[in-house]
Structure 1
Amino acid sequence: MRTGIRAVIAVAAAALVLPVAPAHAGERPADGDFTIADPRITESSGLAASAAHPGVYWTHNDQDKPLIYGVDSRTGETVATLTMEGVGTPRDMEAIAVGPDGDIYVGDIGDNLDGSWDHVWIYRFPEPKALKDQTVRAKQYVVKYADGPRNAEALMVHPKTGRVYIASKREGGGSLYAGPEKLSSSGTNTFRPIGEVPWVTDGAFSPDGERLVLRSYFSAREYVWKDGRIDGDGVSAGAPLQGQAESVTYTRDGSAFMFGSEGANSGVVRVDRPDAPAASGDTPGAPRPSGAGESPAATGPQGGSATTGFLVLAGGIVLVLGIKRLLRRGD
């Protein structure tokens, strides 16, 4: 009798760790939660919404290969692989952004030894008009910091001025650096500190240029951007709990944040901005992107319901505790 009950407990405990099936399958609305399906993308370290292709997000591995991937948020599938030429071998690509000129900027700015490189690089190339595997000719910019070498993982391009900013990464807080008004491909581009920031793993400007979101492994804050600087202490951006939380960007219309993480089959989670209007194209009764209008805990990274998963987990715990009580009575 007791052996049989213990077997039931084992089965119930195993059920607690079974994944909840996704609530949606196949193609979904653009700009909702999605899972990066490409097995080559195991360390997605930056994320940027395409300016030319709605619903597509550019990302890259934290690696030494000059590869950029375009991922369709409707399916999670890679729809373009870009190979940069005209640049050296990347060392530690950490960030990506799209500028007002339609160019893609890639930040090869990582330095895990926090000062081992006396310079880092930014790569820049026009966003392709066609989504297909192709080679793109990129410019390479040498970057130094006015106050010496440091580690960084966040590169942001202002959508109105085109100025490039970098946030350094330090546990106790780093600095926000502004680049020159125009980057030079023939000389050194000196980035100068303009303010203090918390521990940052990525950041992005809103499409209207009036806000800046910065994230860390455990949280994210959105700041007002005024006169070329952060204004105020910001507000929570509602970052979801993720494995290695590495990336953030805005949706193309600025109505939501998209939070990404590293790892194979990593999830990208949409979190609506608190004061955001209804998603573009919404009509009464029309489907919204998964996660739209919900709290970050309401939808899992693959479109499954985390609420359902919680109920399953709670039910399993109740089942196990009940069986244990029966065991104690039988002793």
Structure 2
Amino acid sequence: MSTSNRKYKDSIFVDLFAEDEKAKENFLSLYNALHGTSLKDTEQLKNVRLDQVLYMSFYNDVSYLVDNKIIVLAEHQSTINPNMPLRCLEYVSRLYETLFESKEKYSRKLLYIPTPEFYVFYNGEEDYPSDKTLKLSDAFIEKATEPNLELTVKVININRNNRHPVLENCKTMKEYSIFVETVRKWKEINPKNGFEKAVEECIQNNILREYLKRKTKEVLNMLLAEYDYETDIAVQRAEEREIAFAEGIERGIEQGIERGFADGSYQKALETAKNLTEMGFAIEAIAKATGLNIEEVEAL
């Protein structure tokens, strides 16, 4: 894919594993760490990343064709999005469209397609399991023992204190994890010049040294873009929480009025339910006796 006139901005994660002159070497090292293989020929790699990305206005995904597989990688520094399986389904569908001509899909001969694999590397600040699998079927309204459609995304916590094996088996990923940790530290210590200080410290400590020395200016620009992106996401989520809170209050008032809150009967029902709870009555029985729902009784 051409790097000129790009509409979206790359993250450092993407640059390291998809765009940099040594990206294929870095990706192959990561692929070997994930699969226990020892592939060395970068010529067998084909970068198939889409212009229509997993993230709005920001490149944070990597995808390659290798060893008869489509490997899709993404990074999360914020809370893991539970809809990643759905987004990956849309992503890989478009990838397949680019790999085959339309007429091939109508052939009477079975069309063999690369096996897809999806990985999300989490290095956020919230606690998260070392490994976790997200499934598309978890979002299905009607559950099935054997769903007709499934897609799994493996989430790997790459924070250094997590000591995931992939960090020991892929030098670039380990150093990238330390780099992110260092950036966060310096951003808190020195909000104005934190990015520069982090890059200086990593070069001094031999963390991504060659890469950072060669691309210092580009790295600083990507850090600024990432910081703005993460800030935008945090603001959006805060606004969503405020809206949800306000809507919750409004619904509660409406429910209170409907239940006779205005004349005090709702409050009396709550008091009665509380007394019955202290007396040891079952929640279902209390709900039936007072007219409250089970959630309201459980909240007492």
How does the TM-score come out when normalised to structure 2?
A: 0.28
Q: Which has the higher strand share?
A: 1
Larger RCO: 1 or 2 (CA < 8 Å, sep 6+): 1
Tell me which structure has the larger Cα radius of gyration.
2
